[in-house]
Amino acid sequence: MSFNIGLSGLYAANKQLDVTGNNIANVATTGFKSSRAEFADVYSATKLGSGSKVIGNGVRLANVSQQFNQGDVNNTGNVLDMGIQGQGFFVLSNNGSLTYTRAGTFKTDKEGYVTNSDGTARLQGYGVDANGKIINGVLTDLRIDTSNLAPKATTSVSSTINLNSTSDPIDDTIVGNKFDPTLSATFTKQFSTPIFDTQGNEHRMDQYMVKTGANTWKTYTLIDGRNLDGSLPTKDGSTTDPVASTITFDTSSKLVQVSTPNPADATKPIISNDLKLTGWVPGTVTNGVWKSNGASSGGTVSVSLANTTQFNADTARSIPAQDGYATGQITNLTIDGSGVLLANFSNNQTKPIGQISLASFTNEQGLQPVGGTSWKETFASGIPGYDAPQTGTLGSVVSNSLEESNVNLTNELVELIKAQSNYQANAKTISTQSTIMQTIIQMT
């Protein structure tokens, strides 16, 4: 009996050495989770029980449990290096076969897909629609699209404007004072805003503010110094005169209304706080001759004057906001804590191109290690739940960083000494039993 007990102890100590040695070997492995050898004693028993004076039969390896406590997350400077701060696993797909990992050493393949370090599996996440909205719920291969961002024509312009209430009125009923964009004496202030046509060409929209009386202003809008149809503005009363909108304030200098002549019915002006620029024809001037550049305005451009006031302060405007942009080339990639991949473009636009998904399990220790610092689900682990980082109990994604192995080298060296002592002690048990047997044999 003692031989079997000693042999079981040697086997257990050997397994303890194996587990400790594996932990030590992976002390520098990214995303590695240490393991712990767990043992149970062995007793012989009958249907009626083992009795009160039964001696044990040794020890057995009950389990090798993985310890999924957090490892240190350290900066690497590589945007596709990602660590998880908190719970969850990255999801990888190899032709539909899913594995789970904490090792975020990712790269892109020749087709732009985000893969693990050896390129055998693709990182899973959520795609985006044409408007850059994340499509939650359906896992897909994440891909970094390096194609150009198509241009977008300007459809709206907004800003906050204050018109100085103490400015001197300009009497535009006098022919010599009639509005002329080339004569600064005929307008009070000029504001310029870049806008874009459907081909991504930039144009300059100028708004000329003219105070015409107490609490009353006019605004003339030109694009590239011309009327919306491309004609040059004149000051002789011809049909190419720029159209003016009238801005009216109350005695508290708050905006009352903006009135614009209605081309369809001169008796019914358009009352709106948004100027509707319709019929704009984008063009270019070559050798003094204007012609259409083949692009379109994309429709009506709405210029909001809702945030316009008339206080006794300098006539000024905040930085205007407009929704158009030129063609853009991707310049760099950022990944935020929720796992959203944001592509930054040369036209100052930022567009989501996907979102990383994390998996969670009811019983993480039930996962089956498959090598490459990856695991597969088992019946014991339960089915995975997928969601975006920072959702529920899932942790956050830390870009430009990697999670180090959670092996505590000091503890492992102590375990190594203990395993060695256990092995020697169990070997001594066998040696002692052998000596006793030899003594008994000699007695006979």
Give the model confidence (pLDDT) of 3-38 as tens digits: 778 788 888 888 999 999 999 999 999 999 999 998
Distances from the Cα of 407 to the Cαs of 33, 81, 185, 353, in angstroms?
7, 20, 77, 35
According to DSSP, the β-strands at 301-304 and 156-158 are parallel
**In this model, does residue 241 exceed pLDDT 70?**
no
Residue 261: CA atoms inside 13 Å, Cβ hemisphere, count?
A: 9
pLDDT tens-digit map of 80-132: 999 999 999 999 999 999 999 999 999 999 999 999 999 999 999 999 998 88
- The pLDDT, as a whole number, for residue 354 is 95
Q: What is the pLDDT of residue 192?
A: 96
Average pLDDT, integer, range 155-160: 95
Between the CA of residue 186 and those of 20, 41, 60, what are the distances in Å? 87, 100, 98
Percent of the chain with pLDDT over 90: 64
State the pLDDT at residue 179: 84
Non-local (6+) Cβ contacts of 409 within 8 A are 24, 27
Residue indicated by tokens 């692009």: 295
Averaged pLDDT for residues 416-431: 86
Sequence spans of domains, the chain: 2-69+428-443, 73-147+330-403, 156-322
Six-digit token string for 102:
């904490």
So what's the pLDDT on residue 1? 60
CATH architecture of 156-322: Sandwich (2.60)
- Measured CA distances, 314 to 163, 164, 384 (Å): 7, 5, 62
User: For residues 231 and 239, what is the distance between their CA atoms, to the nearest angstrom?
Assistant: 10
Q: What are phi and psi of 397, to 5 degrees?
A: -90, 130
Task: State the Cα–Cα distance between residues 34 and 366, nearest whole angstrom.
Answer: 14
User: Which of the two residues, 55 and 209, has the higher pLDDT score?
Assistant: 209
DSSP-derived letter for residue 28 is: T
Residue among 444, 426, 440 nearest 3 (CA): 426
In degrees, to the nearest 5, what angle opens at C-alpha 327 toward C-alphas 324 and 329?
Answer: 130
Q: In this predicted structure, what is the pLDDT of residue 438?
A: 79
Task: Please determine, for residue 239, whether its predicted confidence score (pLDDT) is greater than 60.
Answer: no
pLDDT per residue as tens digits for the range 104-115? 999 999 999 999
φ, ψ for residue 387 (rounded to 5)? -165, 175
Q: State how far the Cα of 52 lies from the Cα of 239, in Å rounded to an integer.
A: 115
User: Which range, of 52-56, 155-159, 173-177, 421-425, averages the lowest pLDDT?
Assistant: 173-177
The pLDDT confidence band at residue 45, using thresholds 50, 70 and 90, is low
d(CA 262, CA 218): 15
Residue 127 CA to residue 360 CA, distance in Å, equals 20
- Give the pLDDT of residue 237: 47
**Which pairing describes strands 107-108 and 97-101: parallel, antiparallel, or unpaired?**
unpaired
Strands 161-162 and 308-309: parallel
pLDDT of residue 426: 83
In this prediction, residue 410 has a pLDDT band, given cuts at 50, 70 and 90, of very high
C-alpha 315/C-alpha 319 separation (Å) is 14
Please answer whether residues 221 and 277 qualify as being in contact, where contact means their C-beta atoms are separated by less than 8 angstroms: yes
What's the chain's average pLDDT?
A: 89
Give Dmax over CA atoms of the chain in angstroms. 141
**Amino acid occupying residue 442:** Q
Q: How confident is the model at residue 306 (pLDDT cuts 50, 70, 90)?
A: very high
262 and 269 Cβ atoms separated by less than 8 Å: yes
Given a contact cutoff of 8 angstroms between Cβ atoms, the answer to whether 177 and 185 are in contact is yes
pLDDT digits (tens, 9 = 90+) for 266-277: 778 888 888 888
Lowest mean pLDDT among 36-45, 190-199, 249-258: 36-45
The Cα 99–Cα 109 span in angstroms is 19
- What number is the average pLDDT over the span 394-412? 95
Predicted pLDDT of residue 227: 84
Residue 292, number of CB atoms within 10 A of its CB: 11
Buried-exposed string 172-195: b where 16+ CB fall within 10 A, e elsewhere? beeeebbbbbeeeebbbbebebeb
Q: Give me the residue label for tokens 């006031």.
A: 309
- What pLDDT digit, counting tens, does each position of 207-236 carry? 999 999 999 999 999 999 888 877 777 655
Please count the other Cβ atoms lying within 10 Å of the Cβ belonging to residue 5: 19
pTM here is: 0.77
Is the model's pLDDT at 436 over the cut of 90?
Answer: no
Q: How confident is the model at residue 51 (pLDDT cuts 50, 70, 90)?
A: low
User: For the ranges 237-251, 330-344, 347-361, which has the lowest average pLDDT?
Assistant: 237-251
Distance of CA 350 to the CA centre of its chain: 10
The pair phi, psi for residue 224, each rounded to 5°, is 55, 35
Q: Report yes or no: 405 and 34 within 8 Å, Cβ to Cβ.
A: yes
Average pLDDT value for residue range 162-170: 93
Residues near 169 by beta carbon (within 8 Å), at least 6 away in sequence? 211, 212, 213, 214
Residue 304 has pLDDT above 50, yes or no: yes
CA 395, CA 45: separation in Å to the nearest integer?
Answer: 47
pLDDT band at 332 (very low <50, low <70, confident <90, very high): very high
